[in-house]
Amino acid sequence: MKKITLAFLAIVMLLPGLQAKEGMWIPILLGTLNEADMQSMGMRLTAEDIYSANKSSLKDAIVKFGSGCTGEIVSADGLLFTNHHCGYSQIQSHSSLENDYLTDGFWAMNRSQELSNPGLSVTFIVRIEDVSAAILNGLDADLTEAERAQKIEMRIQEVGDAAVQGTHYEYEIKPFYYGNEYYLFVLEKYLDVRLVGAPPSSIGKYGFDTDNWVWPRHTGDFSVFRVYSGPDGKPAEYSEENIPLKPKHYFPVSLKGVEQDDFTMVYGFPARTQEYLPSFGVEMVMNVTDPIRIKARDERLRVIDREMAASPLVKIQYASKQSGISNGWKKWKGEIRGLERDDAIAKKEAYEQEFMALVNSRADWKMAYGSLLSDYAELYKQVRPLTVAVEYFGETGYALEFIRVSQKMLEATRSWSSDETEQAAAKEKLRTFSQNFFKNYYAPIDKELTGSLLEMYHDDVPTSYRPTILNTIEEEYNGDYASYANWLFANSAFMNQAKLEALIDNFDPAAVQSDPAFELMMSFFQAYSAVYGQYDDLETRIEALHRTYMKAQREVFADKTFYPDANFTLRVSYGKAEGMKPEDGVTYKYYTTLDGVVEKYIPGDREFDLPQKLITLNEDRDYGRYGKNGELRVAFLASNHTSGGNSGSPVINGDGQLVGINFDRGWEGTMSDINYDINQCRNISVDIRYVLFVIDKFAGASYLIDEMTLVE
């Protein structure tokens, strides 16, 4: 048998139909691009059932939850499901040593007990429109990138303002295919979102860091909120007069579950993918950006985890921070592993060779696109050292928590007024900031990380990109960064609440600017500004190449249907419930059960402890109507293409019913943001029956079950 070459594989990958389950599709295009394929896999809906601007459809039950997740409406009274980790910061904000809702869970047993969450919003999509012509037509090809961006921004404002004029709606217009198309999203944002329930972390975060991004998974990753409107049904700030939202659509909840090969669909807001990066970009991710982020977060997690383990208060204060740091850290490790195992760079290079062969076969293509890859190679070579500096700025200097205080004080000095009334208002804002900041701040963590992260930056970043403060530390402290950190924290007012508020009470811009923490921040900002100017110029040129390369691929490979990269806009992905074979001799079943949860149980362990009630319910097989054949399913795998932002997304069966809540990907497939492999990439969801079981049998909040529409 002849050996199949990578180039041949790249050609095969382009043939229509072979990647039907890959992709994050724009809802308004499902009718022309995906409906038939979805129905052939078991969907019994139409494209208009999924998205319609004129009648109720599934899209009317989907929300952007906060600034980084998805949620879904599950009752006629605005009840909302999302992930536990999506509601984590809200749960933490209500937690204290006396009422530790992170550890013990929280359940409102009636609506008067629901907890408000200032600053939290949910956003519905009213309609989507292709406005590419209005944004792009007539743009002069000779415009510089800056001039082009300015004209596009003006047109975006004109089109968007006209779309929502005379309404309470908002809008966003975003580029797709690297700016080759633009779509308008008309939005309705609700501002009163209340916490209804959350399981204890021993359920909602079961497995913590060890199981994160890993299958088999046994995490009940869900939380429950309710959306409120004003008495007129429109968005309103929190008020006791507000009423539960009456949605245009809400999901019926299936008790049937999913079986092997059942159709599944994920509907939500994936945040960011880069599926069309050239090989040079993939190499940069694998060998520069991801390793830097991992190294810096190794150190941050080392210190934070140790201090959280030693103090119940610090455990609450840093729970949300640690979760965010750890999530990215483990994702990037898996991303590198997956890209290496899938030989992603070689596959990209094979694809590029085939692309260039076709480009060179036509004179017009050769003229327009013949230098693309060589231009890429040169720009990525130039940007590489700057990328090192920019990534270390973000993961070391800017990762120090007191930098936030320094930034806030910088803003205050720049806007300080001679008017006494304005001064009093500015001081009050600073005091509020101080109280919020120190509520979740533990100075010993920040002090230790100041020493180790600044030393890391000094050692790993070229001299020409270092802040001058590092030279001072080398000279005056003989490179002893821990000693410098001790001096800094002893002499700055920014890391101590009493000192900071005394400084605020007697605010003097000159005194603020002479604080050593302020001086450190300014040294980093000045160095960063110098680096970022060069970096941004090169990135702008690379982005322009991306736009041209995307246009070229769609011309050269005209038979291939290209889906746009994720950009935190509403998308549909679809696949089926199925396991996988991650490596030789290993096969994953597509679901896990409560028996598996108990098998992992380690009494008193931070990650694998369990509530006794859950253990007893399992021992008694007291699953109610949520179990099946003597077992209770907890989570399942499916081949839906997901990304960050899809956390909390509904997993929907072929009849438009809710069967799960998406919360993760398998570690083997975290590379899917860059390189999707249908054989390795799986999304992980909590089975909706486990969610209902926890609400009903474990928490005793059966009144919530009563307001849902359950389908047997």
Which residue intervals of 4-144 are DSSP H helices?
A: 6-13, 30-33, 35-40, 47-50, 88-93, 101-104, 132-136
Q: What's the whole-number average pLDDT of the chain?
A: 94
What's the pLDDT at 21?
76
- What does the pLDDT look like over 358-385, one tens digit per residue? 999 999 999 999 999 999 999 999 999 9
**pLDDT number for residue 3:** 36
Per-residue pLDDT of 1-30, as tens digits, reads: 333 343 434 433 433 333 447 999 999 999
In this structure, are residues 335 and 282 in contact, taking their beta carbons and an 8 Å threshold? no
**Residue-wise pLDDT tens digits, 549-602:** 999 999 999 999 999 999 999 999 999 999 998 888 889 999 999 999 999 999
Cα separation, 647 vs 684, whole angstroms: 10
Q: Residue type for 390, please?
A: V
Which residues, listed in sequence order, are joined to residue 660 by a DSSP beta bridge? Answer: 651, 687
Element housing 560 (H / E)? none
Q: β-strand 181-190 against 106-107: which pairing, if any?
A: unpaired
3-state secondary structure of 572: strand
Give the mean model confidence (pLDDT) for residues 238-261.
Answer: 97
Give pTM, 2 decimals. 0.90
Residues 108 and 704: beta-carbon distance below 8 Å: no
Tens-place pLDDT, residues 267-319: 999 999 999 999 999 999 999 999 999 999 999 999 999 999 999 999 999 99
What number is the average pLDDT over the span 603-627?
97
Please tell me the distance from the alpha carbon of residue 514 to that of residue 567, in angstroms, as a whole number: 41
Residue 668 has pLDDT above 90, yes or no: no
Per-residue model confidence (pLDDT) at position 5: 40
Q: What is each CA distance from 239 to 65, 66, 192, in whole angstroms?
A: 20, 19, 8
**Cβ atoms of residues 643 and 24 within 8 Å:** yes
Rounded to 10 degrees, what is the CA torsion of 542, 545, 547, 548?
180
Q: What confidence score (pLDDT) does residue 20 get?
A: 43
pLDDT at 141 exceeding the cut of 90: no
**Catalytic annotation, residues:** 85, 221, 647
Token pair belonging to 369: 């696109």
Question: CB neighbours of 371 closer than 8 A, spacing ≥ 6?
Answer: none
Cα-Cα end-to-end distance for the chain:
52
